[in-house]
Amino acid sequence: MGLLEGKKALVFGVLNEYSIGWHISQSLHQQGCQLAFSHLPGEKIERRVVKAVEPFKPAFLAPCDVSKDEDVARTFETAKEKFGAFDFLIHSLAFAPAEALHNPFLETSRTAWNTALDVSAYSLVALTRAALPLMNANGSIITMTYLGAEKYIPMYNVMAVAKAALECSVRYLAAELGRNEKHVRVNAISAGAIKTMAARGIGDIDKMMTHYNEKAPLPWDSDDAATHVGKTALYLCSDLSSGVTGETIYVDGGYNIVGW
């Protein structure tokens, strides 16, 4: 019998089989969790996502641009109708306009700043608020963050500011939701570099993978890396992490502890 038998998770942010959200889904699915997915609207994206999540036999797929309130409301209406109450919300998405990642940070426009923080950080608050009425007691919410929130990483720019806001939001949401009668937990996983579509958008991902492998205490290659993240997500959804909330947990082969 799996650790998550009888549990249900709604996963935001799977684009393809390389997505971190996909590896989290695989890990939850292997332990008996039923899954449903939400993806960015668009025919091409939908085709990709349908194919990627097919092995998980999803309860439903719902298109949702997380920067649109009406999309968020519609997605949770669908969840209510097709899923009923559920246990886990996986937030594995982020976006910043390309020019804000490639130009100097000093040149960040107000529009790029607002977009990056809206999609990558505020969406966790919006999705949590919409999910909570449908969540079972002792549920768990997980989001994905990166070391750029606290250390300078070349080209991470406005996304670093968004991740800092996201990690802070995790603490505020955890404090409020922990006191709520449902005791839903909220945590962030800070992953090391993983070759995904989003990582390619930032650039130098191959160089980063080599650097991680040289510097991190543990071996770090892209396939295993995503599996490590999936395992920590399983821990954070399962009862094994019943006393853990508001944390940013590093799954980076120990990269963040090394100074030189």
Closest CA to 87 of 15, 8, 141: 8
Name the token pair of 143: 């989001």
Per-position DSSP letters for 132-183, written without gaps between them: GGGEEEEEEEEEEE-GGGTS--TTTHHHHHHHHHHHHHHHHHHHHHHHSTT-
For position 186 contacting ligand NAD by CB under 6 A, the verdict is no
The angle that helices 123-131 and 69-82 make with each other, rounded to 10 degrees, is 30
For position 232 contacting ligand NAD by CB under 6 A, the verdict is no
Q: How many CB atoms lie within 10 A of CB 240?
A: 11
For position 67 contacting ligand NAD by CB under 6 A, the verdict is yes
Q: Are 184 and 132 in contact (CB under 8 A)?
A: yes
For position 193 contacting ligand NAD by CB under 6 A, the verdict is yes
- Indicate if 255 belongs to the active site: no
- Shortest distance (Å) from residue 226 CB to ligand NAD: 8
- Indicate if 146 belongs to the active site: yes
Q: Which residue from 37, 83, 88, 146 is in contact with ligand NAD, where contact means CB under 6 A?
A: 146
For position 66 contacting ligand NAD by CB under 6 A, the verdict is yes
Q: Pick the closer one to ligand NAD by CB: 35 or 144.
A: 144
Determine which one of 146, 212, 250, 255 is catalytic: 146
Binding mask 20-39 for ligand NAD (x = CB under 6 A): xx------------------
The three-class DSSP label of residue 35 is strand
Closest CA to 177 of 140, 211, 206, 146: 140
Determine which one of 156, 212, 250, 255 is catalytic: 156
Binding mask 99-118 for ligand NAD (x = CB under 6 A): --------------------
Q: Pick the closer one to ligand NAD by CB: 14 or 135.
A: 14
Element (H, E) at 53: helix 43-53
| Catalytic residue list | 146, 156
Give me the residues that bind ligand NAD (CB under 6 A), please. Answer: 13-15, 18-21, 40, 64-67, 92-95, 119, 144-146, 191, 193-194, 196-199
